[in-house]
Copies of this chain bind each other. A is one copy, B any other.
Amino acid sequence: MILTVTLNTALDITYQVPALTPHATHRVTEVAERPGGKGLNVARVLAALGHDTVVTGFAGGPVGAVLRDLLAPLPPRDALVPIAGATRRTIAVVDHATGDTTQLNEPGPTITADEWAALLATFDRLLGEARAVALCGSLPPGVHVGAYAELVRRARAAGVPVLLDTSGEPLRRGIAARPDLVKPNADELAQLTGAREPLRAARDARRRGAGAVVASLGAEGMVAAVPGGVWQAVPPAPVRGNPTGAGDSAVAALLAGLVGEQPWPERLAHAVALATATVLAGAAGEFDRAAYEELLPRVLVRDRAAAA
Residue among A17, A26, A104 with max Cβ neighbours from chain B (10 Å): A104
Inter-chain CA distance A91–B104, complex, in Å, is: 11
Q: Which range contains the number of A residues in contact with the other chain?
A: 20 to 34
- Report if A125 contacts B (CB, 8 A): no
Query: In the bound complex, what is the Cα–Cα distance between A186 and B22 (angstroms)?
Result: 24
The proximity string for A residues 1-43 relative to B, scoring 1 for CB distances below 8 Å and 0 otherwise, is: 0000000000000010100111111111101000000000000
Our pick among B20, B23, B31 for the contact of A101 (Cβ within 8 Å) is B23
A107 partner residues in chain B, CB cutoff 8 A? 27-29, 31
Asked if B17 and A20 make an inter-chain contact with CB atoms under 8 angstroms apart, the answer reads no
Cβ–Cβ < 8 Å partners of A106 in chain B = 15, 28, 31
Render A64-99 as a binary contact track against B, CB cut-off 8 A, 1 for contact. Answer: 011001000000000000000000000101010000
Could you say which residues of chain B place their CB within 8 Å of the CB of A63?
A: 62
Separation in Å of the A242 CB from the closest CB of chain B?
A: 12
- Once the chains bind, are B27 and A105 in contact (CB under 8 Å)? yes
- The CA of A25 and the CA of B100, in the complex, are separated in Å by 11
The answer to whether B25 and A22 have CB atoms under 8 Å apart is no
Contacts A62-B62, A65-B62, A66-B62 known; A26 to B105 CB distance under 8 Å?
A: yes
A102 at the interface (CB under 8 A from B): yes
Task: Tell me whether A103 is interfacial, beta carbon within 8 Å.
Answer: yes
A229 to chain B, nearest CB (A): 34
A66 — nearest CB in chain B belongs to which residue?
B62
Task: Point out the residues of chain B lying under 8 angstroms from A101, CB to CB.
Answer: 23
Contacts of A15 in B (CB 8 A): 104, 106
Residues A103 and B22 in contact, CB atoms below 8 Å apart: no
Contact between B17 and A104 (Cβ–Cβ < 8 Å)? yes
Q: In the complex, what residues of B have CB within 8 A of residue A100's CB?
A: 22-23
Interface residues of A in 148-207 (CB under 8 A from B): none
* Docked complex: A104-123 residues within 8 A CB-CB of B: 104-107
Q: Known contacts A22-B95, A22-B100, A27-B107; can you find 5 more A-B pairs with CB under 8 A? A: A20-B22, A22-B102, A27-B105, A29-B107, A31-B106
8 A-B pairs whose Cβ atoms sit less than 8 Å apart in the complex: A15-B106, A22-B95, A22-B102, A23-B100, A23-B101, A24-B103, A28-B106, A91-B104
Q: Residues of A with Cβ closer than 8 Å to B?
A: 15, 17, 20-29, 31, 62-63, 65-66, 69, 91, 93, 95, 100-107
What 9 pairs between A and B have smallest CB-CB spacing?
A25-B103, A23-B100, A62-B66, A20-B22, A28-B106, A26-B104, A22-B102, A31-B106, A62-B62
